[in-house]
Structure 1
Amino acid sequence: MGFPGTWMTESESVVYRVVPKCACSTIGQILHYSDHGVFFDGDIHDAKTGLHKWALEGSQGPITRNVQGHRSYAFTCVRNPYTRILSSFFDKICGIQRNGKRYRGNLVPKLIYDYGIEVGGDDGKQEFDQIKSFRRFLLFVRDSIRFRRPMEPDIHWSAMSGHVSTFIWNGGTYDKIIWTEQFNEGMQEVLDSIETQHPVDLGDIPRFNESEGHGPKRLHPVEDYFDDLSMHLVYEIFKRDFELFKYDVENPGNKMPIGEIDLNEVHAKLGD
């Protein structure tokens, strides 16, 4: 299986397991800058040089040797499941992607037809009932994750614990899991733990939110999108995420973690 979704600086100062919709664009750019003193010109997900990535054949050997030998500090980043699934809906379902097309071709027309979801018209700019459509999207997410139909789960809404676990299965060990909601504090702890080629001042780092502006603006507070049934579905889908990464399942309006992540617990429960 290897280490899918794993990035590493070329200097091998640090290893990072990407979790989609969890500040991965910003983190990737910070890692690139820490080695080269410049940001990658474009979306860091498109970079074929400047970072080791598991998806690049020439990077797989160095990543495997480093991770299995735990030669470098390794970390990942997680996010509140309520805000993450909302972000996925507005970006991937309602939004036009950077190639000018809908995400995954016929996915959105299929959701419109099978689940009655609205997405704001062809350009995602028209008014629609965001709350009703989002709740129908949650039914699709549940179906794809539990029954693997009408399609396999997508990386942007599959559970974070699934992404995090693949790193552990093949012999990886995390030194830190940071929260998107306390990004600067967590990322500073990572930077303080490694030797970088170039100093990184997090106060000067822009947020590289590559999905921003793709879709319609969220019109309501987070909690308005989740009624009792929606909260039940989200807990059913993301139960391990809430428990391991210490988020508040009872209150969608509280995006902040409510406890400390126990790395021993994460390694034990996700290493099965």
Structure 2
Amino acid sequence: MKPGKRLLRNVISDAMGVNAANKLVWAPDVPIVYVDNPKCGSTTIKNTLKHAQANLFAAEGRTFKLRDDPHKADDCLRQRGLRLSDCRHRYVISCVRNPFTRALSGFLDKVATRDPKYFPELRSRRVETFEEHLMAVAEYPAKRLNFHFRPQYLNLDFPNLTYDAVFYLERLAIFSDFCRKVAPQLTLETSAPHSRGAGEASKLHEHYSDRAIELVREIYAKDFSAFGYSTDLAETNRVPGLCIIANRIVPEGTKVEEAIGSEPVNITVPPAYGTTVRYHRLVEMLTL
């Protein structure tokens, strides 16, 4: 995106009081709006939405395009055109991940295998180590980071937006339970082509120096606190709770069917979410 266009978007979003960073993904007839959060099961969630919509179209005898890539918008999965009238009775969801493993996954998937010119935050420098990558990220304004590196609370505009459910990648089976609860046509369609095994103990040991640990704690401090993760690298496998509903962590032992309401929290389209949708529509209409 050209700097002038990005600046104009930021000015408009600041004036409206919304975060310009988030990306809304939805399917026409599936009662979900997914707020995209890369490196946190996003491919699986989008794949699930896309195939559910494709099955609905097929059952109705309607022709449609279904590409294998869940990151491609088409008839079954959309990233533009969402209206406030489409938002009622839709569950607003996302997924988060331990900042230690997410940060490493972003580096292994995007930086270690690509030309550094692809990422402005690296200032065209050849980054050789994970620690060097984190140092470059730490020097760059958080809101302007590529959303694979950007703190998750910014991608989600959390807690400004109220979520019906935010899942933990470490416990994605809860998303499957949620699917069965809210829509019978939804079935978990797992897809992880970009997985780099960042949660493996050997990968963590290989890439995390003491300085790297400090940098992740600093860059992603709000992610740790907002989503309940421990700042101890040795506890990357500890999940803070069952999931997050209405922006509160659901404790262990709670039944999913009891925690998830019969109607979405956003059934009346609260002001913050409504403003976010209006902002996205304004961006689309002005082709910013």
Q: TM-score, normalised by structure 1?
A: 0.69
Which residue of the partner structure matches residue 27 of structure 1?
A: 45
Instruction: Rate the CA distance shift 1:189–1:212 in 2: closer, same or farther, 3 A.
Output: closer
SS at match of 2:238: coil
5+ long unaligned stretches in structure 2: 1-12, 59-64, 250-264, 266-271, 273-288
**SS in structure 1 at match of 2:78:** strand
- Asked whether 1:11 is paired with 2:39, we answer no
Match of 2:71 in 1: 45
What is residue 194 of structure 2 aligned with on the other side? 211
- After superposition, residues 60-99 of structure 1 pair within 5 angstroms as 60-61=82-83, 64-67=84-87, 69=88, 71-96=89-114
1: CA distance, partners of 2:107 / 2:45 = 22
Partner-residue secondary structure (3-state), 2:139: helix
Corresponding residue of 2:149: 157
Unaligned runs of 5+ in 1: 119-132
Is the Cα–Cα contact under 8 Å of residues 66 and 75 in structure 2 kept in the other structure?
A: no
Q: In the alignment, does 2:136 pair up with 1:140?
A: yes
Shift of 1:265: 5.2
Partner of 2:82: helix, strand, or coil? helix
How does the TM-score come out when normalised to structure 2? 0.66
Provide, for residues 29-73 of structure 1, a one-character-per-residue CA deviation record: whole Å limited to 9, x for no partner: 1011122228943321122321232xx2xx232xx3344x4x212
Shift of 1:12: 4.0
- Match of 1:90, SS? helix
Aligned to 1:122: none
Q: Distance in 1 between matches of 2:139 and 2:116?
A: 21
Aligned residues: 223
Does 2:205 match 1:187? no
Offset from partner CA, 1:154-185 (integer Å, 9 cap, x none):
1101100001117x64xx5311110111111x
**SS of the residue 1:45 aligns to:** coil
Distance in 1, matches of 2:170 and 2:212, equals 22
Aligned residue in 2 for 1:129: none
For 2:137 and 2:121, the matched residues in 1 are separated by 12
Alignment of 1:157-176 (within 5 A): 157-165=149-157, 169=160, 172-176=161-165
Instruction: Provide the alpha-carbon RMSD of the alignment.
Output: 3.3
Cα shift at 1:195: 2.1
Q: Identity rate of aligned residues, in percent?
A: 22
Q: Which amino acid aligns with 1:145?
A: P
